[in-house]
Amino acid sequence: MLLVGQGGREHAVAWKLRQSPEVDEIYVAPGNGGTSQVATNVPIGPRDIDGLVQAASDLNIDFYLATMDDPQPLGLVDRLRERGLPCYGPTAEAAQIEASKAWSKQFMVDHGITTAFHRTFTEHREAVAYVESLPDGPLVVKASGLAAGKGALVCDDHEGALAALDLIMVKREFGASGDQVVVEECLRGWETSAHAICDGETAVMTPSSTDYKRALTGGLGLNTGGMGAYSPSADVTAEMNATIDRDVVQPTIAGMAALGRPFNGTLYPGLMVTEAGNYVLEYNARLGDPEAQILMLRLESDFFTICSAAAAGELASVDIEWSDEPAVGVVVASGGYPESYTTGHLIGGLDDIDEDVQVFHASTKETPEGVVTNGGRVLTVTARGPTLAAARAKAYENARRITFEGAYMREDIAQIEETE
């Protein structure tokens, strides 16, 4: 097996794959201080497609499972399939659904999938003129390309929107990912996300989940890659999940197939739930992080069997079972994240974790002195329990045993005990 990435998501997927009797060896490129416990790390970056293809040959890889966003738009799945290697993940053409917000917005319009009113621009002056032509008020300005989850800027007014356009199109904060921008209305409601396992024709929804994007307790601070998550979501009813499947997931899979871009892999639409209905904000073409960590903890079935069936276009032939127990994941991050922070701090407490709690590593690195921090989101402490409150208590109790200089976490992940 080959995975590409270095996050908590990759550690969680590798951990789950290790439980399969069908899986002998797992390689993770480049991996982290946690993946090395369940797999072999390979020092190749996620955008080095030639290096990854060569490694797949050298290591006698039998299967590639896509987890992060970077390699697919660059054609890794296409290259590996040319060599006869089964892959669970989208081709470069199918991955445009995430890699180009401009393309995906047009796809939604063409296929009747509800999304925010928007315009797309390649010229800065035209984007500025459009913003200035609108009544002053909130807008969202998005870099069209991949930007590590940081390319969508929510602006309170015209001044903020113009500053965002300057940042993306003039100062080139996100490089070529800002060659096109999407300016869209700012929807009011609450966000949720859905995950579906897809084989090009069939799509099967996973249980619902809720993640927490803001850096600080109470939903304050800057947007991050995600500071925690829980499943099932208290806000998403079974009826709502079925509606998302009917109105978003199934039309998306059918639309991609009709375009000759069948989507194989994990589809992860982000949605805004409003009084007027559900709006798709964007698509992702892989598992979310930290959602993957809690979903892998709840998955009872063999994940390799599922992905292998999907890669062969036979997803309908497998039953997918999930634990009824809720799961909670709490991210322990470096102080200052998502802005400036220091790394290289020795992590303590990893040997003090309860046996039924999983600590999935993200930005960690093994050194002769021990495991040290190597980025912003360092670890996800993940637990299951008979109730959401029990899972939450277990996750936080263990997360507080983790120590390193500047460590912090949000204190309100899954804080909805009063609803139980």
In the prediction, which pLDDT does 313 show?
98
Share of the chain above pLDDT 90, in %: 94
At 13-70, the pLDDT tens digits run 999 999 999 999 999 999 999 999 999 999 999 999 999 999 999 999 999 999 999 9
CA distance 240 to 246: 10
In the prediction, which pLDDT does 382 show?
99
pTM of the model: 0.95
CA distance 280 to 282: 6
Residues 6+ apart with CB under 8 A from 145: 99, 100, 101, 151, 174, 176, 177, 178, 179, 180
Amino acid identity of residue 41, one-letter, is: N
User: Angle between the 8-17 and 303-311 helix axes, to the nearest 10 degrees?
Assistant: 100
Mean pLDDT of the chain: 96
Q: Which residue segments constitute the domains of the chain, with CATH numbers given?
A: 2-91 (3.40.50.20), 117-185 (3.30.1490.20), 190-317 (3.30.470.20), 327-419 (3.90.600.10)
User: Angle between the 158-165 and 124-133 helix axes, to the nearest 10 degrees?
Assistant: 170
In the prediction, which pLDDT does 148 show?
78
Sign of the torsion formed by the C-alpha atoms of 186, 192, 195 and 200: negative
Closest alpha carbon to 49 in 23, 84, 77: 77
At 345-384, the pLDDT tens digits run 999 999 999 999 999 999 999 999 999 999 999 999 999 9
CA dihedral 275, 277, 283, 285 (to 10 degrees): 110
Taking residue 355's Cβ as centre, other Cβ atoms within 10 Å add up to 5
| Residue pair 29/3 in contact by the 8 Å Cβ criterion | yes
What are the Cα distances from residue 83, in Å, to 38, 74, 87, 264?
27, 16, 11, 18
